[in-house]
């Protein structure tokens, strides 16, 4: 049986074309347009930082079942630990892995040794709980096979693979949960064919999802404070009462509004995304206070920036002060970098760096 599309309100391409021609801005108006992150050379994020207790156990599903490869590993440099304000008693190791044929959308697993009071960021959390990054998102040509492989490893999931239609695409999605509650959301696009980058068994990571308390305010913060661009902002409900990919009870699925938006530095583009979602009417727990290293879970994503000094000034001018910042930090597998981290209204970290 065909799966009905979510109820949302897309803007027709023809309407966009007409609007662009009728309301084309003048040269004077363009001169007054506020700068965006891409004006400072903010590129799609290169890696997600995931804190775990066992590097191999956490990465094996992606490497052995998904075909990812190890590109760097070793000790975490003291300078990087200092940048995170971790005490001298803490040391650590890292393992950086990437999908085949790319160095984009990688994952850097970090292990903090000697850390006191360490706990999972989203301990026993449900999808609608806020604070802490919910998932790393990837594409697959065979979501069912990757789901089966994860379950065989003793991992778990929010649901079984779930078929639905959204924005003209027929998708198969599942949220797989690994050690420490780290979620990996897999998307298989059955139609139209996806051609943005190599997919295979498990593609590069292209998005991270953050559950937020006030989605419109969060979208505005990323847009107006960080200068990111909005790919879409589309509230939706399930079209029929059935099990779904976020464990919403079937009898509530057609009533619950899920507000979802994606922001990214460069448009058009298929990667470097941050997705912001709110389950309207669901008041869950908030984990923002725990969303910092050395706690376990998805710590941040790192965006490369051409002119970090100018971008940092832009952020400060917008009232965004770095919570971590340092210069000349030796980051193994990346290089010597100036790096800053900012915290969003829901406590989540996003990092920006420039390699010397």
pLDDT tens digits for range 317-338: 999 999 999 999 999 999 999 9
Q: What is the pLDDT of residue 9?
A: 35
Instruction: Report residue 16 as tokens.
Output: 């966009």
Residues 94 and 294: their CA atoms lie apart, in Å, by: 13
The three-state secondary structure class of 354 is strand
pLDDT tens digits for range 209-219: 999 999 999 99
pLDDT tens digits for range 138-170: 999 999 999 999 999 999 999 999 888 877 889
Position 14 pLDDT exceeds 80: no
> In the chain, where are the structural domains located?
37-355
Decide: residue 94, CB within 10 A, 0-12 exposed, 13-18 middle, 19+ buried.
buried
- Residues 171-176 have a mean pLDDT of 94
Q: What is the pLDDT of residue 166?
A: 78
Q: What is the pLDDT of residue 242?
A: 84
Reported confidence tier of residue 5, pLDDT bands at 50, 70, 90:
very low
Least confident of 11-20, 93-102, 242-251, 268-277: 11-20
Position 241 pLDDT exceeds 80: yes
Q: Which range has highest mean pLDDT (12-16, 31-35, 193-197)?
A: 193-197
Is the link from the previous residue into 192 a cis peptide, with omega within 30 of 0? yes
Query: How far separated are the first and last CA of the chain, in Å rounded?
Result: 55
pLDDT tens digits for range 245-286: 898 888 998 988 999 999 999 999 999 999 999 999 898 999
Residue 158's alpha-carbon distances to 89, 173, 231, 293, in angstroms, are: 37, 11, 26, 25
Residues 133 and 177: their CA atoms lie apart, in Å, by: 13
- Residues 50-71 have a mean pLDDT of 98
- Residues 185-211 have a mean pLDDT of 96
Q: Which fold has domain 37-355?
A: 2,3-Dihydroxybiphenyl 1,2-Dioxygenase; domain 1 (3.10.180)
Kind plus residue range of the DSSP H or E element containing 186:
strand 183-191
**Please, which residues bridge with residue 171 across strands?**
164, 189
Q: What is the pLDDT of residue 229?
A: 98
Average pLDDT, the chain: 90
Position 22 pLDDT exceeds 70: no
Task: Tell me which of 254 and 12 has the higher pLDDT.
Answer: 254
The answer to whether the beta carbons of residues 48 and 298 sit under 8 Å apart is: yes
**Biggest distance spanned by C-alpha atoms of the chain:** 62
Position 128 pLDDT exceeds 60: yes
Q: What is the pLDDT of residue 237?
A: 84
Q: What is the pLDDT of residue 32?
A: 56
């Amino acid at each position: 049986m065909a799966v009905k599309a979510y109820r949302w309100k897309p803007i027709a391409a023809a309407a966009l074309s007409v609007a662009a021609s009728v309301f084309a801005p003048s040269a004077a108006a363009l001169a007054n347009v506020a700068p965006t992150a891409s004006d400072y050379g903010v590129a799609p994020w290169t890696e997600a930082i995931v804190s775990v207790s066992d590097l191999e156990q956490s990465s094996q599903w992606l490497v052995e079942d998904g075909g990812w490869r190890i590109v760097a590993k070793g000790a975490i440099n003291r300078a990087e630990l200092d940048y995170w304000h971790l005490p001298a008693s803490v040391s650590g190791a890292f393992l950086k892995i990437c999908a085949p044929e790319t160095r984009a959308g990688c994952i850097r697993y970090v292990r903090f040794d000697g850390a006191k009071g360490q706990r999972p960021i989203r301990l026993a959390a449900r999808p609608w709980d806020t604070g802490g990054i919910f998932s790393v998102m990837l594409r697959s040509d065979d979501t069912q096979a990757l789901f089966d492989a994860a379950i065989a490893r003793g991992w778990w999931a929010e649901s079984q693979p779930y078929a639905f239609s959204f924005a003209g695409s027929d998708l198969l999605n599942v949220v797989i949960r690994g050690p420490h509650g780290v979620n990996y959301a897999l998307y298989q696009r059955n139609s139209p064919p996806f051609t943005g980058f190599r997919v295979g068994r498990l593609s590069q990571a292209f998005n991270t999802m953050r559950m937020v308390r006030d989605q419109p305010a969060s979208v505005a913060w990323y847009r107006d404070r960080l200068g990111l661009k909005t790919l879409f902002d589309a509230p939706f409900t399930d079209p029929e009462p059935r099990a779904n990919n976020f464990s919403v009870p079937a009898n509530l699925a057609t009533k619950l509004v899920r507000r979802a938006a994606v922001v990214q530095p460069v448009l058009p583009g298929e990667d470097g995304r941050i997705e912001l979602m709110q389950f309207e009417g669901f008041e869950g727990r908030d984990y923002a206070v725990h969303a910092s290293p050395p706690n376990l879970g998805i710590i941040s994503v790192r965006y490369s920036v051409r002119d970090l000094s100018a971008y940092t000034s832009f952020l400060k001018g917008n009232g965004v002060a770095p919570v971590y910042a340092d210069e000349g930090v030796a980051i193994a597998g990346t290089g010597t970098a100036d790096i800053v981290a900012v915290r969003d209204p829901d406590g989540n970290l996003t990092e920006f760096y420039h390699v010397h």
